[in-house]
Amino acid sequence: MVPWAQDLLLALDNKELDFADYDLDQWRLMHIGAQPVPPSLIKHWKEYFPNHQYDTNYGLSESIGPGCVHLGLDHIDKVGAIGKAGYGWEAKIIDEQGETVKQGETGELAVKGPGVMTCYYRDPQATAEALHDGWLYTETWRWKTKTDLFFWLTVRKMSSSVVVRISIRYRLKTSYVPMKLFWMWRLLDLQITVWEKFQQQSLN
């Protein structure tokens, strides 16, 4: 996650960590995801780890976590994109009618593959909203470049309560305890903060 990587970089900047204390010879890959990744963070990371390969992973609970879309090791110059469909997966950008949009137009990311959930537990309405002929509608909006890489653009305009419901709906259906719910709220706050900083950085 971005906060973890940022904490590590800050510790290195502040001399709180010393490379001499660790054996990093076999550390060769920087693999990150869970939210948009600022290009400046990866540039900073490469200053400390110039030989690291880099990849971004995208996924959600309904697709058995990350992996349905990823950047790939050959696209470090495209940091900021989440990539394209992973092995065994399909991905597309659709409009509100479920039709695939043209290159460069905005729309909702939909994914299809072996990891898509069967249903939301005892919630047929939510299932019908999310699943369409095997496609999982992710409820986030993205745009597609001419090179077929998917970029995070923004999320749909909605109230905070709806965002929270979407974020924790799947987890609640799997009977997480109230303390877990508390941490999901904290995680959502963190993701919103990171996204706001990412937007400001992109504008600059």
pTM over 0.85: no
pLDDT for res 195: 47
Question: In the predicted model, is pLDDT for residue 63 greater than 50?
Answer: yes
Between 172 and 116, the higher pLDDT residue: 116
DSSP string for 167-184: HHHHHHHTT--HHHHHHH
- Dihedral sign of CA atoms 36, 5, 86, 183 in order: negative
pLDDT for res 47: 96
DSSP string for 122-189: T-HHHHHHHEETTEEEEEEEEEE-TTS-EEEEEEPP--HHHHHHHHHHHHHHTT--HHHHHHHHHHHH
pLDDT for res 106: 86
Question: In the predicted model, is pLDDT for residue 150 greater than 90?
Answer: no
- Dihedral sign of CA atoms 98, 160, 58, 88 in order: negative
Give the pLDDT band (50/70/90) at residue 200.
low
pLDDT for res 79: 87
Tokens of residue 197, six digits:
């900083």
The C-alpha angle with vertex 73 and arms to 70 and 145, in degrees rounded to 5, equals 55
Question: In the predicted model, is pLDDT for residue 193 greater than 70?
Answer: no
The residue among 71, 51, 64 whose CA lies nearest residue 136 is 64
pLDDT for res 196: 47
The pLDDT tens digits of the residues spanning 94-148 come to 999 999 998 888 889 999 999 999 999 888 999 999 999 999 999 887 788 777 8
Give the pLDDT band (50/70/90) at residue 9.
very high
Question: In the predicted model, is pLDDT for residue 170 greater than 50?
Answer: no
pLDDT for res 148: 80
Between 159 and 200, the higher pLDDT residue: 200
pLDDT for res 104: 83
List residues bridging with 106 in a β-sheet.
Answer: 143
Between 80 and 29, the higher pLDDT residue: 29
pLDDT for res 179: 39
Q: What percent of the chain has pLDDT over 70?
A: 75
